[in-house]
């Protein structure tokens, strides 16, 4: 395979991987933007999204449906349901674990977040066991070859779904009343409250949306890899967090960009250095960013406390 | 105010429920069995019996259980009831050296345990052998294949407390035979020429991958590259895309299913390597591999460092009993689990001849295991050599056909010196 084809092939691998990271990174960045909490349980909500999708798919007699369009409709329904369930879990986590600690020293909610992460991991372990769980590959999956570079429908699905979800999020944040409330709450919670914004419900909606996006990521990664594992969210969560920091924590466009960049960096490291160095390279980027450009590529978007 | 209080209790109740659920997931690591003392002898079994490793560990532990049932039926230790004490060394679904070490310490503190069957994985053995050596408790592995556990300077480093005391034995052969045997089969029988080698960077995986690669080159094959995967890795697309650009006709994977063996096979298809061969060793010859790899599993091969029990007349009763007891066919190392437990039981029985019916000490059991006497077992006659290795050096080879593992051939390497 010519060198240039190889590069583009890896670029596709990287973008597909990055789409998943980007969707998870959005949840980190939205929550951080609004209450300055690094929600470490977020990676596990992503895995929960895979597990919800699995359980929903188990209820559908997939073999009865043979037409491509029927299967795609099922896929859309499962994505919506999984996102909804994850969103509810996100709201519950905020209500039960974080709301009381909103004005506590910042270390307290951080430790709570780690605790919630462990609780979710244990629940998933009890639910589906500690083995890899197969994810039904029910969608039609053709290989396309364009200019010598091959890609699967599944990879296209990952990229399309993540781009659509991101576009929808952007609309929501910048074009709707809720989005305005979210941005106002992020800028100055007290002033927003004085303007008549319900802080609690705005923050709850932020958790709902972030967790729902993680649920979408959980579904598409299940389709993309064909398997899922109860601890997957741990490493994926850390890498998505790196993506959020890379793009500028609190910055929604930054999180998307960061996610795709981290995915591409991983694929290129594997191609041109060695696969065992990918994790090292990703976390070295995290450290370098924190040291030399703490506000990330596109700049932080957090309240400026005067 | 009332709402507030209710909300408060609801959240406390939720937290309590979640925590207790979480704690429930952590049980199962304590040694089980009936109450101690009295006329009970316990055979410890330290194997990974949960998660991705369960399809290796459970069939092996079943072998141990069956040995105990048989030994009780035949009154091999007169006056005592033998109990199998099965513990798990997997944490989060993957074999874990520190959990293994904890298990050995727990067994050592129970005076009714005279010997332990296990472990399954070589990195776990590395953590357990020093403890077995310093605590003086026999460890008989059904499945560890890394040569450095018994032979050479690295093995000596594992028994620094009592350098001259062998306390670790194994009933399977080693990777300096298994790796080359697999490479010979790949090069000479399947006629493969260009290999891309992967391993999981563990004691076992890296060791067997190096041995396989070296012999594959001696057999005239080319090793195009050798890369390592990392713990918890889920995405192998980039790695396999790179491998695909070198047009290999086989990917060798050194490691276990739980460290990624099945996922690598599954994703090979995505990288355009779905139609080439996949070679592994005993770490992937299990049902979990078939589950993880799905339809992509076909065309895979794996070696196992012991005989196929179905080919041995002496094992036929064992195979029938196993099927009757557990309702499934044996795993790669079920017969070895049975034999490992039997060697401890027989050593205990032999030691009791000197103690006039009293329970022997662990040292007396160890002396019997070190005596070098021949064991007539269901996997053939063998004895333990001066290092604790079996003299039985048979490699069997399996392949995946129509979604299931089938036996292809086996070869006895006992006459040949390790290469």
Among left, alpha and beta (phi > 0; psi -120 to 50; other), residue B79 is left
Chains A and B: how many Cβ contacts under 8 Å? Answer: 120
Output the pLDDT for position B2.
45
**Which is nearest to B394 in space by CA: B407, B67, B214, B405?**
B407
Output the pLDDT for position A139.
86
**Contact call for A266 and B235, based on CB within 8 A:** yes
What is the pTM (predicted TM-score) of this model? Answer: 0.88
How far is B63 from B322, CA to CA, in rounded Å? Answer: 8
Query: Which residues in chain B are contacts of A118 at CB distance < 8 A?
Result: 22
Contact between A296 and A289 (Cβ < 8 Å): yes
Q: Kindly give, in sequence order, each residue whose CB lies less than 8 Å from that of residue B64, ignoring residues fewer than 6 positions away.
A: B43, B45, B47, B84, B86, B117, B337, B338, B340, B341
Burial class (CB in 10 A: 0-12, 13-18, 19+), B13: exposed
Torsion of CA A125, A17, B202, B191, to 10 degrees: 120
Q: Kindly give, in sequence order, each residue whose CB lies less than 8 Å from that of residue B308, ignoring residues fewer than 6 positions away.
A: B396, B407, B410
Closest-approach residue (CA) in chain A for B245 = A1
**Contact call for A95 and B291, based on CB within 8 A:** no
Query: Which residues in chain B are contacts of A119 at CB distance < 8 A?
Result: 18-19, 22
In angstroms, the Cα distances linking B381 to A202, B171, B339, B373 are 74, 11, 11, 10
In angstroms, the Cα distances linking B188 to A197, A208, B415 are 75, 59, 20
What value does the mean pLDDT take over residues A78-96? 97
Closest-approach residue (CA) in chain B for A142 = B270
Contact between A35 and B266 (Cβ < 8 Å): no
Q: How confident is the model at residue A303 (pLDDT cuts 50, 70, 90)?
A: low
Closest-approach residue (CA) in chain B for A112 = B15
Q: Kindly give, in sequence order, each residue whose CB lies less than 8 Å from that of residue B364, ignoring residues fewer than 6 positions away.
A: B351, B354, B355
Buried-state track A196-234, b at ≥16 Cβ within 10 A, e below 16: ebebeebbbbbbbbbbbbbbbbbbbbbbbbbbbbbbbbb
How far is A92 from B227, CA to CA, in rounded Å? Answer: 43
A283 alpha-carbon distance from chain centroid? 18
| Residue A178: Cβ within 10 Å count | 16
Contact between B97 and B126 (Cβ < 8 Å): yes
**Contact call for A225 and B272, based on CB within 8 A:** no
Output the pLDDT for position A299.
83
How far is A156 from A263, CA to CA, in rounded Å? Answer: 15
Query: Which residues in chain A are contacts of B288 at CB distance < 8 A?
Result: 131-132
**Contact call for A134 and B51, based on CB within 8 A:** no
Length, in residues, of chain B: 419
Interface residue B99 vs chain A (CB under 8 A): no
Most confident listed range (A73-77, A147-151, B96-100, B266-270): B96-100
Output the pLDDT for position B20.
45
- Of the candidates B245, B263, B270, which has its C-beta nearest A227's C-beta? B263
**Contact call for A131 and B291, based on CB within 8 A:** yes
Torsion over CA: B204, B210, B216, B221 (sign): positive
Phi, psi at A84, each rounded to 5°: -60, -50
Q: What percent of chain A has pLDDT over 70?
A: 98
- Of the candidates B229, B235, B263, which has its C-beta nearest A17's C-beta? B235
Helix (H, G, I), strand (E, B) or coil at B196: strand
**Contact call for B90 and A236, based on CB within 8 A:** no
In angstroms, the Cα distances linking B199 to A222, B97, B175, B221, B228 are 24, 18, 14, 18, 5
pLDDT of chain B, 419 residues: tens digit per residue: 344 444 455 454 444 444 444 444 443 344 444 444 458 999 999 999 999 899 999 999 999 999 999 999 999 999 999 999 999 999 988 999 999 999 999 999 999 999 999 999 999 999 999 999 999 999 999 999 999 999 999 999 999 999 999 999 999 999 999 999 999 999 999 999 999 999 999 999 999 999 999 999 999 999 999 999 988 899 999 999 999 999 999 999 999 999 999 999 999 999 989 999 999 999 999 999 999 999 899 999 999 999 999 999 999 999 999 999 999 999 999 999 999 999 999 999 999 998 888 999 999 999 999 999 999 999 999 999 999 999 999 999 999 999 999 999 999 998 655 44
Output the pLDDT for position A182.
93
């Amino acid at each position: 395979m010519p060198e240039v084809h190889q590069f583009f092939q890896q670029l596709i691998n990287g973008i597909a991987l990055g789409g998943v990271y980007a969707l998870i990174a959005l949840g980190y960045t939205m929550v951080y933007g609004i209450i300055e909490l690094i929600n470490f349980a977020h990676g596990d909500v992503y895995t929960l999204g895979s597990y919800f999708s699995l359980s929903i798919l188990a209820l559908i007699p997939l073999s009865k449906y043979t037409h491509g369009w029927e299967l795609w409709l099922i896929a859309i329904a499962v994505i919506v349901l999984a996102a909804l369930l994850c969103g509810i879990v996100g709201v519950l986590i905020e209500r039960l674990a974080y709301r009381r600690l909103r004005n506590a020293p910042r270390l307290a909610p951080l430790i709570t977040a780690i605790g919630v992460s462990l609780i979710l991991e244990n629940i998933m372990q009890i639910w589906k066991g500690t083995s890899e769980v197969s994810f039904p590959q029910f969608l039609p999956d053709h290989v396309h070859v364009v200019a010598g570079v091959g890609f699967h429908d599944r990879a296209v699905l990952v990229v399309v779904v993540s781009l659509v979800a991101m576009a929808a999020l952007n609309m929501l944040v910048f074009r709707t009343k809720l989005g305005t409330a979210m941005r106002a709450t992020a800028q100055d919670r007290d002033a927003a409250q004085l303007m008549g914004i319900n802080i609690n419900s705005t923050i709850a909606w932020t958790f709902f949306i972030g967790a729902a996006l993680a649920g979408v990521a959980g579904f598409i990664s299940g389709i993309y890899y064909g398997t899922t594992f109860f601890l997957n969210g741990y490493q994926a969560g850390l890498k998505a967090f790196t993506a959020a920091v890379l793009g500028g924590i609190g910055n929604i466009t930054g999180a998307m960009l960061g996610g795709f960049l981290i995915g591409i960096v991983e694929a290129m490291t594997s191609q041109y250095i060695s696969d065992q160095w990918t994790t090292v390279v990703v976390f070295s980027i995290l450290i370098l960013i924190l040291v030399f450009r703490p506000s990330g590529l596109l700049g932080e978007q957090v309240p400026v406390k005067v | 105010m009332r709402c507030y209080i209710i909300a408060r209790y609801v959240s406390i109740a939720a937290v309590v429920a979640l925590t207790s659920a979480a704690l429930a997931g952590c049980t199962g690591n304590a040694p089980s069995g009936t109450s101690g003392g009295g006329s009970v002898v316990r055979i410890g079994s330290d194997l990974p019996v949960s998660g991705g490793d369960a399809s290796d560990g459970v069939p092996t532990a079943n072998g141990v259980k069956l040995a105990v049932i048989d030994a009780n039926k035949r009154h091999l230790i007169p006056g005592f009831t033998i109990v199998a004490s099965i513990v798990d060394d997997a944490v989060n679904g993957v074999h874990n050296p520190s959990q293994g070490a904890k298990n050995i310490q727990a067994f050592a503190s129970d005076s009714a345990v005279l010997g332990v069957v296990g472990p399954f994985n070589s990195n776990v053995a590395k953590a357990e052998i020093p403890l077995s050596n310093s605590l003086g408790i026999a460890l008989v592995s059904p499945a560890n294949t890394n040569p450095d556990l018994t032979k050479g300077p690295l093995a000596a480093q594992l028994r620094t407390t009592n350098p001259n005391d062998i306390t670790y034995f194994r009933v399977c052969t080693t990777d300096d035979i298994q790796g080359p045997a697999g490479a010979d089969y790949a090069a000479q029988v399947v006629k493969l020429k260009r290999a891309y080698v992967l391993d999981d960077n563990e004691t076992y995986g890296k060791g067997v991958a190096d041995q396989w690669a070296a012999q594959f080159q001696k057999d005239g094959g080319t090793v195009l590259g050798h890369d390592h995967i990392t713990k918890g890795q889920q995405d192998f697309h980039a790695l396999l895309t790179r491998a695909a650009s070198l047009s290999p006709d086989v990917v060798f994977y050194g490691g276990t299913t739980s460290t990624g063996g099945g996922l690598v096979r599954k994703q090979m298809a995505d990288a355009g390597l779905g139609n080439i061969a996949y070679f592994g060793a005993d770490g992937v010859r299990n049902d979990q591999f078939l589950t993880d790899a799905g339809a992509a599993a076909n065309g895979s091969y794996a070696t196992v460092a012991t005989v196929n029990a179905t080919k041995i007349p002496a094992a036929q009763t064992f195979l029938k009993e196993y099927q009757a007891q557990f309702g499934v066919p044996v795993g790669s190392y079920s017969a070895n689990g049975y034999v490992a437990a039997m060697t401890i039981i027989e050593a205990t029985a032999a030691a009791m001849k000197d103690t006039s019916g009293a329970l022997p000490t662990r040292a007396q059991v160890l002396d019997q295991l070190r005596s070098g006497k021949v064991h007539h077992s269901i996997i053939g006659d063998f004895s333990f050599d001066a290092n604790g290795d079996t003299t039985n050096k048979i490699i069997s080879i399996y392949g995946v056909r129509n979604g299931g593992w089938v036996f292809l051939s086996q070869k006895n390497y006992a006459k040949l010196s390790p290469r």
